């Protein structure tokens, strides 16, 4: 016998990309069934008393380090950290050991994530086999429905021909190509030009091939301008920015790639969020051990506080509405992954979060659930917390103040 469970969430302040309104939501069997109106008898009623309910977040750019570097993070610790940050869907990057260039590695990750059961994981396949910069023959064999994006993230694909060929295959196979724009040879002398040059090249190739290109962690004012112009010409490019690149600048010294940029870049990225050029906020959650950071490892552990950073720097400062933040963290990334999530609407999967925008806290990286206790935001005061997370209509996380970091 199939038991259909119905739960009515009453008096929710529903905030998604389209609406900000007080209403009731009926969840049936893990799906959002109805919003507002008359409801028949239900199994359970939860009165939210005007509390804010938003779609759970989707993160297109996450490093869980599994397989191979599980002392930095693993799928279990990463999943728990993601949920505490309000995420129920993540797209994991391929710079694991082995590099994810084959179906076996994809299956290992997806099975382990399913066993953990907290989040829906998608896995990136590398563009070039083992990041060798040349061989893309494995792309025709990648056949797992959980691979939607291909990327050599961590490295740029330096060869023009290889990138062009990869875009053509991606177009044929329905993959999105996520570009980590960096010419390593240029990076040391001119890290700004390194990103700008590859962004220019990738947009050119996108225009030529008409394949789906996604620019990862855009960080310079020049790069975001190029993307803005390309979008106006109808080039099928999307982009993401990270919470750190829109909040802090190179007054703070911290190893991360792309590097923390100038104040003018932070302003340009923020303007591009406001004018609609930026499609998504993605964390680039990059956990490392203390020892690896001391040796110069690049990256920031950020999935637990991404919402708080964005809320504090974008919404609380009145630059954007909470609705717009929902579009950037839920609707648009879900659309790119082609999943049935990202808005509070009948028929969508009932993955949602309750938030309190007024909770203030001081970031303490040592209290992170993630194994990666590495953030330059450490010690800063932020606002806004995820209170509860529901996946398929079931509550899977409650904030108790324990990870107030």
Q: How far is the CB of 284 from ligand DOR (least distance, A)?
A: 6
Backbone torsions φ then ψ of 377, nearest 5 degrees: -80, -10
Q: How far is the CB of 7 from ligand DOR (least distance, A)?
A: 39
Tell me which of ligand DOR, Zn ion, none is bound by residue 227, counting a contact when its beta carbon lies within the kind-specific cut-off of 5 to 8 angstroms: none
Contacts of 290 (CB under 8 A, 6+ apart): 373, 374
Site for ligand DOR in 141-170 (CB under 6 A): 153-154
Q: How far is the CB of 153 from ligand DOR (least distance, A)?
A: 6
Contact residues: Zn ion, CB under 5 A: 153, 180
> Active site residue: 284, 351, 364, 398, which one?
284
Question: Among residues 142, 286, 350, 369, which is the contact residue for ligand DOR, using CB under 6 A?
Answer: 286
Contacts of 241 (CB under 8 A, 6+ apart): 217, 218, 219, 224, 269, 272, 273, 278, 280, 281, 282
Please tell me the distance from the alpha carbon of residue 33 to that of residue 126, in angstroms, as a whole number: 38
Token digits for 251?
């007054």
Which residue, 133 or 154, has its beta carbon nearer to ligand DOR?
154
Question: Among residues 17, 61, 63, 221, which is the contact residue for ligand DOR, using CB under 6 A?
Answer: 63
- In the annotation, is 251 catalytic? no
Q: How far is the CB of 228 from ligand DOR (least distance, A)?
A: 23
Alpha-carbon dihedral 30, 142, 136, 203, rounded to 10 degrees: -30
Q: How far is the CB of 258 from ligand DOR (least distance, A)?
A: 7
| Closest among 188, 201, 202, 240 to 219, alpha carbons compared | 240
Which residue, 65 or 335, has its beta carbon nearer to ligand DOR?
65
Site for ligand DOR in 69-88 (CB under 6 A): none
Tell me which of Zn ion, ligand DOR, none is bound by residue 293, counting a contact when its beta carbon lies within the kind-specific cut-off of 5 to 8 angstroms: none
Which residue, 6 or 95, has its beta carbon nearer to Zn ion?
95
- Write the interaction track for ligand DOR spanning residues 85-104; mark x where CB under 6 A is met and - where it is not: ----------x---------
Tell me which of ligand DOR, Zn ion, none is bound by residue 95, counting a contact when its beta carbon lies within the kind-specific cut-off of 5 to 8 angstroms: ligand DOR
Q: Which residue has its beta carbon closest to ligand DOR?
A: 299
Question: Among residues 298, 316, 323, 367, which is the contact residue for ligand DOR, using CB under 6 A?
Answer: 298
Site for ligand DOR in 247-266 (CB under 6 A): 256-257
Tell me which of ligand DOR, Zn ion, none is bound by residue 298, counting a contact when its beta carbon lies within the kind-specific cut-off of 5 to 8 angstroms: ligand DOR
Q: How far is the CB of 385 from ligand DOR (least distance, A)?
A: 25
Which residue, 153 or 279, has its beta carbon nearer to ligand DOR?
153
Which residue, 50 or 296, has its beta carbon nearer to ligand DOR?
296
Q: How far is the CB of 242 from ligand DOR (least distance, A)?
A: 9
Tell me which of Zn ion, ligand DOR, none is bound by residue 341, counting a contact when its beta carbon lies within the kind-specific cut-off of 5 to 8 angstroms: none
- Write the interaction track for ligand DOR spanning residues 191-210; mark x where CB under 6 A is met and - where it is not: --------------------
Which residue, 102 or 153, has its beta carbon nearer to ligand DOR?
153
| Closest among 197, 128, 131 to 164, alpha carbons compared | 128
Strand partners, 87: 57
Would you please indicate which residues are annotated as catalytic (active-site) residues? 284
Residues that bind ligand DOR (CB under 6 A): 63, 95, 153-154, 180, 256-257, 286, 298-299
């Amino acid at each position: 016998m199939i038991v259909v469970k119905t739960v009515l969430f009453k008096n929710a302040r529903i905030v998604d990309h389209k609406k900000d309104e007080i209403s009731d939501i009926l969840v049936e069997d893990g799906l959002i069934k109805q919003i507002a109106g008359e409801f028949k008898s239900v199994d359970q009623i939860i009165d939210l008393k005007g509390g804010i309910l938003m779609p759970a977040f989707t993160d297109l750019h996450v490093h869980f380090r599994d397989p191979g570097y599980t002392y930095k993070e693993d799928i279990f610790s990463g999943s728990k950290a993601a949920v505490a940050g309000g995420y129920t869907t993540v797209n994991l990057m391929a710079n694991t050991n082995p590099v994810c260039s084959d179906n076996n590695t994809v299956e290992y990750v997806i099975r382990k994530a399913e066993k953990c059961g907290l989040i829906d994981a998608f896995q990136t396949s590398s563009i070039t086999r083992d990041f060798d910069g040349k061989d893309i023959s494995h792309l025709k064999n990648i056949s797992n429905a959980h691979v939607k994006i291909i990327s050599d993230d961590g490295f740029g694909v330096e060869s023009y021909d290889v990138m062009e060929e990869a875009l053509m295959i991606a177009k044929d196979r329905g993959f999105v190509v996520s570009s980590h724009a960096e010419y390593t040879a240029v990076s040391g002398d001119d890290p700004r030009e390194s990103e700008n040059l590859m962004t220019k090249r990738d947009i050119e190739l996108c225009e030529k091939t008409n394949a789906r290109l996604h620019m990862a962690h855009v960080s310079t004012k020049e790069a975001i301008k190029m993307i803005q112009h390309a979008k106006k010409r109808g080039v099928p490019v999307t982009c993401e920015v990270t919470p750190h690149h829109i909040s802090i600048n190179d007054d703070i010294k911290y190893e991360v790639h792309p590097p923390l940029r100038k104040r003018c870049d932070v302003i340009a990225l923020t303007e591009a969020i406001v004018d609609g050029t930026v499609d998504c906020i993605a964390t680039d959650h990059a956990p490392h051990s203390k020892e690896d950071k001391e040796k110069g490892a690049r990256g920031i552990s950020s999935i637990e506080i991404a919402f708080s950073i964005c809320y504090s720097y974008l919404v609380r400062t009145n630059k954007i509405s909470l609705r717009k933040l929902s579009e950037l963290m839920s609707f648009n990334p879900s659309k790119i992954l082609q999943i049935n999530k990202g808005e509070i609407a009948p028929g969508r999967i009932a993955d949602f979060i309750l938030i309190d925008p007024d909770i203030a806290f001081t970031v303490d990286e040592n209290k992170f659930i993630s194994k990666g206790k590495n953030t330059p935001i450490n010690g800063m005061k932020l606002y806004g917390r995820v209170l509860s997370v529901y996946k398929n209509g079931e509550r899977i996380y409650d904030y108790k103040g324990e990870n107030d970091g």
